Amino acid sequence: MNSNHNAVRISCAYDGGNIQFRSTRPNELDSTITDVIVVVKQDEYTELEQIAHKQYFSFRSTVNDSTTKCRYILDNASTTSYPEAWKDATVCYTSDLYDPDSWKRVLNTRYENGKLVWDMQHTGTMYFAYFPPFSYQRHLDLIFKCQQKTTVISLGQSLEGREIECVKVGTGERNAWIIHRQHPGETMAEFYAEGLLSRLLNLNGDDLTNDPVVQQVLEMYTFYIVPCMCPDGAVRGHLRTNAAGANLNREWATKHYYEAPTLERSPEVYWVLRHMDETGVDVFLDVHGDEEIPYNFLSGAEQTPAWGPRLQALHGAFGAAYERSNSDMQLEIGYPPPESPEQAAQYMNVATNQVSNRFNCLGMTLEMPFKDCWTNKDPERGWSPARSRQLGASVLEAFIYVHPYLRDDTEFWTQLPLEDRYVEPTDDYRHLEETMPHDQFIQLNRRFYSDVHEIHKKDQAKEE
């Protein structure tokens, strides 16, 4: 939608765009500033969670007058799916939409009075986003490059007729499934896939003889890699859902009255799970982004029926090896696991839990931040497409490390070194802020698997 103001025009009429223009007005306190009021458009309504998600935005602003100072105001920030996540968030900006490495951060971004606000004076076109977009054209370009090197399978089609592509690579006996971007607004997940595939397939033209890790891992595993699980939602600029409003990471099993997956509502999961049943799964990784926590971390299938010393040891060993291969990975901060089997049983429709138990295998969810990554801070760019790609490329060492143990039926965990032990994550990270006393901890809303519905129920109960 275009604004009608002569000085500033707002548009999201491009692949993955999401914004609704409301108005422009002179700033009440400074007449030299023009307030640009916008709101995030919501996803299709999600029947299971009973909410219309919204948080991801990406839009174009064209300023015709070089003297115009703009104050952008995201007016409905307080009613988004994760309003608590706006603290410490910085908006991304660029003048080149299609160069993912050109994006930087607006350091004056602030969340005040329930609105996300940032200031910028610019002439011509500038793009703003919650995180740099990964366009469908870029996705198709990635698929084209992959099929020049290996087999690309179409597992099925989305509701709007887009292919659900799976890149198959390797000749090993162990089957590794890695899926990305179940939640379309988590664009860092497909940048991760890009980095992973670029290393595995030498898409950048590097000499593979200099990368013995790739040679070794391809002899150990047959990889099935789905770069984008939710192409319809990606094109629409959704945060969490497909064209029918299905949150794909709640579509991996039937829950009460809610049948899933189905061809009518979630064909993306239906076709992937069907192919998994045909190949089997020895290890599974589901790649996401988290709005609130400023760290990379892994989440496992804790407290589910399959969880025990074996899966706990595999999870610990994989995470420790990953941390050794890339300093942007860490183990201490993340989602606190469920407190009981009964609590975990409510989430057997989540991919990691369902796959881990269906195939008795190591299953993990990997989360990357929308914000800056506090492990290695870079305020100017924050967590970025480049670092997402590098995190994807560096996961191979962890796959190699756990390979001997994936189907080991001995008590191998008794022989693993102490540094490979499982670390139970906590969301206590606020005391790590330099401006906060070490013993002060601000408890986050406890949530499992980014369950926004549970968060909003708790907040509502507090208000009552």
Backbone phi and psi for residue 322, each to the nearest 5 degrees, phi listed first: -65, -40
Q: How far apart, in Å, are the Cα atoms of 459 and each of 79, 82, 444?
A: 12, 11, 12
Write down how long the chain is.
464
| CA–CA dist 285, 357 (Å, integer) | 14
Residue ranges of alpha helices (H) inside 326-433 are 341-345, 351-358, 385-393, 396-402
Q: Mark whether 44 is an active-site residue.
A: no
Backbone phi and psi for residue 9, each to the nearest 5 degrees, phi listed first: -125, 135
Q: Are 350 and 249 in contact (CB under 8 A)?
A: yes
Beta strands at 283-290 and 174-180: parallel, antiparallel or unpaired:
parallel
| CA–CA dist 341, 107 (Å, integer) | 43
| CA–CA dist 111, 91 (Å, integer) | 11
Partnered with residue 441 across adjacent β-strands are: none
Strand ranges in 100-220 using DSSP code E only, listed in sequence order: 104-105, 110-112, 115-120, 124-129, 151-157, 163-169, 174-180
Nearest 5 degrees, angle CA 250-CA 288-CA 299? 80
Q: Are 180 and 281 in contact (CB under 8 A)?
A: no
Q: What is the DSSP letter of 258?
A: B
Catalytic residue among 251, 259, 367, 424: 367
Structure tokens belonging to residue 403: 């390979």
| CA–CA dist 156, 276 (Å, integer) | 13
| Residues forming the active site | 367
